[in-house]
């Protein structure tokens, strides 16, 4: 057997045990192939727990060598940056059931010019939107849909997979189910997602329900529908997705030659991703692959900021809220499902929560785009938070800082188009820019060009 395929085959799979367990430490343990989302004792969320003792049988250096050998190579499925770390993510799925689009391995962009404008020397943008469906949601969905295929192959009764979404989860679920040939249903809040995000499930031929409610309303409905109808729930309360998303941290460490950054900033809505990123760093730490932890920053839109409000009370209190309309539509969530996980994570990582107003997020995205990025509004929220932390002196010139860009700006061109034509209500665009319409006339074209460069 080739050395880099140590996870395959029944006996070797058993070498790396993992199971679902309650986040509050209740005693039940459940197989990853069981259809269960909540603890039967207390009703709270489950998380995937790995047997670290078994994983520690390999030294940190052996893990690093294995990951390096597989990274972005052709040997399927290990070239996917998720499945290249299969033993730490989801060892119990058979390779023949893996549903992958070669996810992960996204670039870290050195924001040299944007960083200089803020006074930072070591600022990087992790481009998680450079993905099959244009957002980081692919990272979790490959794990979830692979486990569904595994369960179906074992004879489990699953008629379809469903999710509520602010647009990117549904796009990822639709694509991965289309790849696998598994029926899917998406629950979307009407008129609250981008045009591209709506077209994605449509073109994959997935039942698309456009509902007259917000995300939180869709979430309540999909939970009820799944419970009664042999439909598997794909929202991030299903912690299989967290396992895939935690590889963002694995990958960051690997991309920086196993060095740990000082700050990682991520926009948060349902708060699965900030929890996942923490989980990834913690796991590498527990395995001795890294020897310190970064500080984590979660950035929220001011219009949907329940975590920020809780942070302001020192996490003593938490109140769900009615999320208001925000340009950062993928994080327009007032009652985040992963709130407990997120708070626990932020406490562990000396965490900070920041918020951004609509004007702040829009102008931060536009400012960064002038330096060659192409940001979605959620990345704008994270950048606006960064700018505040720099002003406060928390993030300093030489701190290695990573901003997680969660989606591809191409999914949100409506936002940029309205911004540059100064048509966003209540927002003064600091970087407006519009095409110049001219007749195809040499003199007029030259005049226009010269005028632009004289000023």
Rank residues 272 and 294 by Cβ distance to ligand PLP and give the closer one: 272
Q: Which residues are within 8 A (CB) of 102 and not within 5 positions of it... i.e. 6 or more apart? A: 79, 80, 132
Least Å distance, CB 277 to Zn ion, is: 24
Which of 22, 174, 307, 331 lies at the binding interface for ligand PLP (CB under 6 A)? 331
Rank residues 255 and 300 by Cβ distance to ligand PLP and give the closer one: 300
Which of 50, 149, 367, 378 lies at the binding interface for ligand PLP (CB under 6 A)? 378
Which of 26, 108, 158, 359 lies at the binding interface for Zn ion (CB under 5 A)? 26
Q: What is the largest CA-CA distance in the chain?
A: 79
Q: Confirm if 31 and 48 have CB atoms less than 8 A apart.
A: no
47: region left, alpha or beta (phi > 0 left; psi from -120 to 50 alpha): beta
SS3 content of the chain, % helix, strand, coil (to 5): 45, 15, 40
* Candidate segments 96-104, 149-157, 262-270, 385-393, binder of ligand PLP by CB under 6 A: 262-270
How many residues comprise the chain? 455
Task: Count residues near Zn ion (CB under 5 A).
Answer: 6
Render 231-296 in DSSP notation, one character per residue.
EEE-STTSTHHHHHHTHHHHHHHHHTTTPPPSEEEEE-SSSHHHHHHHHHHHHHHHTTS-SS--EE
Tokens of residue 312, six digits: 């302001």
133 near ligand PLP, rule: CB under 6 A: no
Q: Is 317 exposed, middle or buried (0-12, 13-18, 19+ CB in 10 A)?
A: exposed
φ/ψ of residue 51, rounded to 5: -80, 95
Binding mask 142-181 for ligand PLP (x = CB under 6 A): --------------------------x-------------
Considering CB distances under 5 to 8 angstroms, the limit depending on partner class, which of ligand PLP, Zn ion, none binds residue 26?
Zn ion
For residue 77, whether the previous peptide bond is cis, meaning omega lies within 30 degrees of 0, is yes
Beta 231-233 vs 263-267: how paired, if at all? unpaired
Considering CB distances under 5 to 8 angstroms, the limit depending on partner class, which of ligand PLP, Zn ion, none binds residue 294?
none
Rank residues 21 and 332 by Cβ distance to Zn ion and give the closer one: 21
φ/ψ of residue 349, rounded to 5: -110, 25
Considering CB distances under 5 to 8 angstroms, the limit depending on partner class, which of Zn ion, ligand PLP, none binds residue 24?
Zn ion
Which of 160, 193, 361, 407 lies at the binding interface for ligand PLP (CB under 6 A)? 407
3-state secondary structure of 17: coil
Q: Which residues are within 8 A (CB) of 25 and not within 5 positions of it... i.e. 6 or more apart? A: none
Least Å distance, CB 41 to Zn ion, is: 4
Short-list 247, 438, 233, 227, CA closest to 337: 233
Rank residues 200 and 236 by Cβ distance to ligand PLP and give the closer one: 236
* Candidate segments 188-196, 261-269, 349-357, 413-421, binder of ligand PLP by CB under 6 A: 261-269
268 near ligand PLP, rule: CB under 6 A: yes
Other C-beta atoms closer than 10 Å to the C-beta of 112 total 15
345 near ligand PLP, rule: CB under 6 A: no
Least Å distance, CB 98 to ligand PLP, is: 23
Q: What is the C-alpha separation between 377 and 59, in angstroms, rounded? A: 41
Task: Count residues near ligand PLP (CB under 6 A).
Answer: 17
* Candidate segments 44-52, 268-276, 306-314, 355-363, binder of ligand PLP by CB under 6 A: 268-276
* Candidate segments 27-35, 187-195, 271-279, 423-431, binder of ligand PLP by CB under 6 A: 271-279
Any idea what DSSP says for residue 325? P
Rank residues 142 and 236 by Cβ distance to ligand PLP and give the closer one: 236
Please report, as residue ranges, which positions from 40 to 99 form the binding site for Zn ion (by CB under 5 A).
41-42
188 near Zn ion, rule: CB under 5 A: no
Which of 66, 82, 271, 385 lies at the binding interface for ligand PLP (CB under 6 A)? 271
Least Å distance, CB 286 to ligand PLP, is: 22
Q: Is the dihedral of CA 311, 312, 318, 322 positive or negative?
A: negative
* Candidate segments 20-28, 269-277, 334-342, 394-402, binder of Zn ion by CB under 5 A: 20-28
Rank residues 206 and 271 by Cβ distance to ligand PLP and give the closer one: 271
Least Å distance, CB 25 to Zn ion, is: 7
Q: What is the radius of gyration, based on Cα positions, of the chain?
A: 22
Tokens of residue 439, six digits: 């007749």
Please report, as residue ranges, which positions from 181 to 200 form the binding site for ligand PLP (by CB under 6 A).
none
Considering CB distances under 5 to 8 angstroms, the limit depending on partner class, which of Zn ion, ligand PLP, none binds residue 84?
none
E runs forming strands in 304-433: 352-356, 401-405
| Residues lying near ligand PLP in the complex (CB under 6 A) | 135, 137, 168, 236, 267-273, 330-331, 376, 378, 406-407
| Residues lying near Zn ion in the complex (CB under 5 A) | 22, 24, 26, 39, 41-42
């Amino acid at each position: 057997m080739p050395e880099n395929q140590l996870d395959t085959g029944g006996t070797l799979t058993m070498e790396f045990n993992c199971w679902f367990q309650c986040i509050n430490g209740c005693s039940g343990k459940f197989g990853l192939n069981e259809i269960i989302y909540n603890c039967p004792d207390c009703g709270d969320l489950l998380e995937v727990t790995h047997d670290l003792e078994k994983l520690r049988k390999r030294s940190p250096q052996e893990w690093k060598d294995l990951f390096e050998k597989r990274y972005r190579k052709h040997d399927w499925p290990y070239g996917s940056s998720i499945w290249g770390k299969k033993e730490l993510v989801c060892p119990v799925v058979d390779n023949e059931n893996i549903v992958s689009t070669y996810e992960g391995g996204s670039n870290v962009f050195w924001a040299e010019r944007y960083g200089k404008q803020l006074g930072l020397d070591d600022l990087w943008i992790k481009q998680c939107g450079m993905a099959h469906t244009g957002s980081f949601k692919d990272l979790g969905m490959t794990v979830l849909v692979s486990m569904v295929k595994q369960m179906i192959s074992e004879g489990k009764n699953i008629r379809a997979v469903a999710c509520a979404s602010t647009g990117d989860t549904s796009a990822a679920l639709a694509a991965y189910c289309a790849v696998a040939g598994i029926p899917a249903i998406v629950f979307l809040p009407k008129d609250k997602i981008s045009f591209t995000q709506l077209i994605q499930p449509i073109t994959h031929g997935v039942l698309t329900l456009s509902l007259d409610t917000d995300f939180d309303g869709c979430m309540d409905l999909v939970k009820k529908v799944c419970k009664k109808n042999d439909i598997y729930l794909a929202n991030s309360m299903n912690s299989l997705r967290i396992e895939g998303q935690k590889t963002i941290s694995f990958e960051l460490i690997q991309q920086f030659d196993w060095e740990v950054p000082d700050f990682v900033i991520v926009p948060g809505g349902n708060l699965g991703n900030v929890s996942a990123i923490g989980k990834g760093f913690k796991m590498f730490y527990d395995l001795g692959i890294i020897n310190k932890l970064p500080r984590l920053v979660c950035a929220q839109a001011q219009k949907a900021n329940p975590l920020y409000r809780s942070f302001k009370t020192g996490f003593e209190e938490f109140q769900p809220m009615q999320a208001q309309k925000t340009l950062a539509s993928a994080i327009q969530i007032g009652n985040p499902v992963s709130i407990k996980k997120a708070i626990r994570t932020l406490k562990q990582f000396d965490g900070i929560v920041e918020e951004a107003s609509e004007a702040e997020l829009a102008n931060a995205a536009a400012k960064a785009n002038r330096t060659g990025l192409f940001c979605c509004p959620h990345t704008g929220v994270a950048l606006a938070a960064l700018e505040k932390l720099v002003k406060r002196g928390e993030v300093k010139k030489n701190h290695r800082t990573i901003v997680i860009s969660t989606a591809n700006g191409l999914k949100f061109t409506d936002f940029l188009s309205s911004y540059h034509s100064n048509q966003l209500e209540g927002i003064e665009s600091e970087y407006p820019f519009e095409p110049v319409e001219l007749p195809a006339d040499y003199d007029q074209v030259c005049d226009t060009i010269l005028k632009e460069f004289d000023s």
